[in-house]
A and B are shown apart, each in its own frame.
Chain A
Amino acid sequence: MAADIAGTAVRTSRVTRAIIYAALLFFAFYYMLPLYVMVVNSVKPLEEIRGGNMLALPQQFSIAPWLSAWSTAQIGVQPTGLQPYFLNSILIVVPAVTVSTILGALNGYVLTKWRFPGANIVFGMMLLACFIPFQIVLIPMARILGLLGLAGTIYGLILVHVVYGLGFTTLFFRNYYEAFPTELVKAAQIDGARFFQIFRRILLPSSGPIIVVTVIWQFTNVWNDFLFGASFAGFDSMPITVALNNLVNSSTGVKEYNVHFAGALMAALPTLIVYIVSGRYFVRGLMAGAVKG
């Protein structure tokens, strides 16, 4: 058994092990607590939250908060619920992820298999672009979107997310293709294959893992984004994160906590599901982004 479980070969006594498990469980509670609170309180009627204990299980089970959050809650001046904004997020995320992933793959391909003088500088510049605080581009981007007639539209947001996602997607693919044997490319060239053919027939079929990692990373980042949504979206094109914040922060008078929690869960569900399903690939993305080179 000791040989099956991963870990350092350190010896620990029984007492120590008990303490270790206790500590780990404690932290598991700490991390699960907010999720639990959100789930449990999103199905309670409002009186129960106000009158009772947030940690308690619902005495009266009510699906009304979810329905309200979805279709009738007040977002700004419209009582439409989060539904239209959920849709907006999907409309933004899908094209943005697709385009930035494809471009990232091509960029990574070029940077590793078709080296040219200055390729490293180009990569370096694109890499640095991953780290900028986005506050620095808000003003000019607002201007450009205005000039292009894209201000406040879904297309504008797609453009923004593609551009600022390029750095990361290129980084992921570049690191992955760097490890890919160049001899295969050379062999294909001798066989007469050309630029796009080599990409399509040789590299792409082996790119499964990195495509998954990149798509998950981009999906999570774009779906969870708030800053760009708040800065560049109009009222009809807001993503769900902005709508959620609207719902929670600008409600005056009666604060419907249960609706807030239901809405928050709605906004979190897609990325959570992606995370649960993909697990390992998600972690790989996190690690690749942080521990690069």
Chain B
Amino acid sequence: MSITLQRSAAISPPARTARERLGDFLPRIVLAPSFAAVLVFVYGFIIFTGYLSFTDSKILPSFDFVGWKNYVRLWSLPNWWIALENLAIFASLYIVICTAIGLGLAILLDQKIRGEGVLRPIYLYPMAISFIVTGTAWKWFLDPGIGIERIVRLWGWSDFTFDWIKDTQMAIYCVVIAAVWQSSGFVMAMFLAGLRGIDNEIIKAAQIDGATNFKLYKRIIIPMLRPAFLSAFVVLAHLAIKSYDLVIALTNGGPGRATELPATFMYSYTFTRNSMGIGAASAVIMLMMIASVIIPYIYAEVGGGNRGR
């Protein structure tokens, strides 16, 4: 007689209730509205505007495809070139000066300064106010009639002129002055955080090695601030390309078109000049400009960061 083993029926796990299965999806359900909103209102809209840039939209969106016509037209418009040129001047000065002032102030503040607690908030508060307010304040302060020019003249130098804000060649530099005033404190905060993160023992080692203060900063400390430089550049470039509020308040694009920037160009061509197709095209170009700065940065951070870990 053979002994056979009886296999018991396989025990299956209890079936999950519908409620439990729903619970599994709850996180995704909670996230969904936000994600959907971003998909639609950001990516969807980007596609929409992108599509419009290939149509002959004027006052209202139209869906008649016209190929590259808007882009060709865009690049033939002198106003667009003025806007781009202004952006180049503005952005490069803005980034360089903000970085220089920010780094300088951060290094100075890092020298065990008494009263740092008072100075730092003073340097930073401009970030808290609207670009419109900044523009308003500087607009009159730079105005030759009542601002700096007049003040200096009242102090005795009756030949002093400072009418940049009314000068088509120089007005863009006024935008730089106001923008630097607004943002350099923030750059300072970034560099200060970077400096504070530097191990003091490295400084001591360099002192024992005989490095002068100058060499210390040049060879050791500033190279260690590379991440802060990168972050500052990305943030400033981003702000520069998007600049709209400040220009509107300060000069409203003027005098004439002297301070036209891509952002103001887009707005006026879309909403007041009834050339929505061209406006859309200019918006797409703005997006590409920002993407060309942001995407390499994120790639470097995420890609490189992972390796270092």
Direct contact of A and B (CB under 8 A): yes
Complex contacts, A2 vs chain B, CB 8 Å: 112
Number of interface residues of B (CB under 8 A): 109
How many angstroms between the C-alpha atoms of A153 and B267 in the bound complex?
20
Asked if residues A195 and B27 are in contact (CB atoms below 8 Å), the reply is: yes
Asked if residues A290 and B190 are in contact (CB atoms below 8 Å), the reply is: yes
Asked if residues A271 and B129 are in contact (CB atoms below 8 Å), the reply is: yes
Asked if residues A114 and B241 are in contact (CB atoms below 8 Å), the reply is: no
Interface digits, A3-46 against B, CB 8 Å rule (1 contact, 0 not)?
Answer: 00111111110000100110110011011111101100100000
Interface digits, B114-155 against A, CB 8 Å rule (1 contact, 0 not)?
Answer: 101001011111111111111011111100001100110011
Interface hit among B33-41, B66-74, B92-100: B33-41
Interface centre among B48, B134, B207, B282 (most CB of A within 10 A): B48
Contact of B213 among A12, A116, A223 (CB under 8 A): A12
Complex contacts, B33 vs chain A, CB 8 Å: 103
Does A73 have its Cβ within 8 Å of any Cβ on chain B? no
Asked if residues B111 and A17 are in contact (CB atoms below 8 Å), the reply is: yes
How many angstroms between the C-alpha atoms of A230 and B263 in the bound complex?
13
Does A65 have its Cβ within 8 Å of any Cβ on chain B? no
Contact of A110 among B27, B186, B228 (CB under 8 A): B27
How many angstroms between the C-alpha atoms of A28 and B271 in the bound complex?
41
Complex contacts, B186 vs chain A, CB 8 Å: 286, 290
Asked if residues A264 and B112 are in contact (CB atoms below 8 Å), the reply is: no
Which residue of A is nearest B251, CB measured? Answer: A249
Chain A residues 195-236 with CB under 8 Å of chain B are 195, 220, 223-227, 230-231
Interface digits, A226-251 against B, CB 8 Å rule (1 contact, 0 not)?
Answer: 11001100000000010011001100
Asked if residues A264 and B136 are in contact (CB atoms below 8 Å), the reply is: yes
Complex contacts, B124 vs chain A, CB 8 Å: 275, 282-283
Interface hit among B78-86, B165-173, B193-201: B193-201
Which residue of A is nearest B136, CB measured? Answer: A264
Asked if residues A20 and B113 are in contact (CB atoms below 8 Å), the reply is: yes
How many angstroms between the C-alpha atoms of A293 and B287 in the bound complex?
23
Whether A241 contacts B31 in the complex (CB less than 8 A), given A9-B204, A136-B45, A231-B271, comes out as: no
Chain A residues 33-87 with CB under 8 Å of chain B are 33-35, 37-38, 41, 49-50, 52-55
Complex contacts, A186 vs chain B, CB 8 Å: none
Asked if residues B108 and A8 are in contact (CB atoms below 8 Å), the reply is: no
Which residue of A is nearest B127, CB measured? Answer: A286
Contact of B150 among A7, A38, A54 (CB under 8 A): A54
Which residue of A is nearest B125, CB measured? Answer: A275
Which residue of B is nearest A220, CB measured? Answer: B128
Asked if residues A131 and B114 are in contact (CB atoms below 8 Å), the reply is: no
Asked if residues A6 and B122 are in contact (CB atoms below 8 Å), the reply is: no
Complex contacts, A248 vs chain B, CB 8 Å: 136, 139, 249
Nearest CB on A from B275, distance (A): 12
Asked if residues A223 and B200 are in contact (CB atoms below 8 Å), the reply is: no
Does B109 have its Cβ within 8 Å of any Cβ on chain A? yes
Does B28 have its Cβ within 8 Å of any Cβ on chain A? yes
Asked if residues B213 and A135 are in contact (CB atoms below 8 Å), the reply is: no
Nearest CB on A from B152, distance (A): 10
Contact of A7 among B110, B204, B286 (CB under 8 A): B110
Asked if residues B44 and A140 are in contact (CB atoms below 8 Å), the reply is: yes
Asked if residues A10 and B38 are in contact (CB atoms below 8 Å), the reply is: no
Complex contacts, B259 vs chain A, CB 8 Å: none
Contact of A136 among B34, B196, B283, B305 (CB under 8 A): B283
How many angstroms between the C-alpha atoms of A244 and B135 in the bound complex?
11
Asked if residues B23 and A195 are in contact (CB atoms below 8 Å), the reply is: yes
How many angstroms between the C-alpha atoms of A128 and B287 in the bound complex?
12
Interface centre among B41, B126, B151, B301 (most CB of A within 10 A): B41
Asked if residues B41 and A34 are in contact (CB atoms below 8 Å), the reply is: no
Asked if residues A268 and B129 are in contact (CB atoms below 8 Å), the reply is: yes
Complex contacts, B136 vs chain A, CB 8 Å: 244-245, 248, 260-261, 263-264
Complex contacts, A12 vs chain B, CB 8 Å: 111, 213
Interface hit among A90-98, A163-171, A175-183: A163-171
Contact of B286 among A31, A107, A133, A287 (CB under 8 A): A133
Whether A283 contacts B128 in the complex (CB less than 8 A), given A136-B287, A137-B41, A245-B248, comes out as: no
Does B274 have its Cβ within 8 Å of any Cβ on chain A? no
How many angstroms between the C-alpha atoms of A81 and B23 in the bound complex?
53
Q: Can you show 27 pairs from A to B with CB atoms below 8 A apart? A: A7-B112, A10-B111, A10-B216, A20-B108, A28-B123, A103-B33, A125-B35, A125-B39, A133-B263, A135-B266, A136-B287, A138-B266, A138-B267, A139-B49, A139-B276, A195-B23, A226-B249, A261-B137, A267-B130, A271-B129, A275-B121, A276-B125, A279-B121, A286-B186, A290-B234, A291-B228, A293-B301
List 8 extra interface pairs beyond A223-B130, A282-B128, CB under 8 A.
Answer: A8-B111, A111-B31, A125-B39, A129-B43, A133-B286, A140-B49, A220-B128, A276-B121
Interface set of A (CB-CB < 8 Å, partner B): 2, 5-12, 17, 20-21, 23-24, 27-28, 30-35, 37-38, 41, 49-50, 52-55, 103, 106-107, 110-111, 114, 116, 122, 125-126, 128-129, 131-141, 143, 162-164, 166-167, 170, 194-195, 220, 223-227, 230-231, 241, 244-245, 248-249, 257, 260-261, 263-265, 267-268, 271-272, 274-276, 279, 282-283, 286-287, 290-291, 293
Enumerate the 7 nearest inter-chain pairs by beta-carbon distance, A residue then B residue, closest first. A224-B130, A114-B27, A7-B112, A275-B128, A226-B245, A34-B137, A137-B45
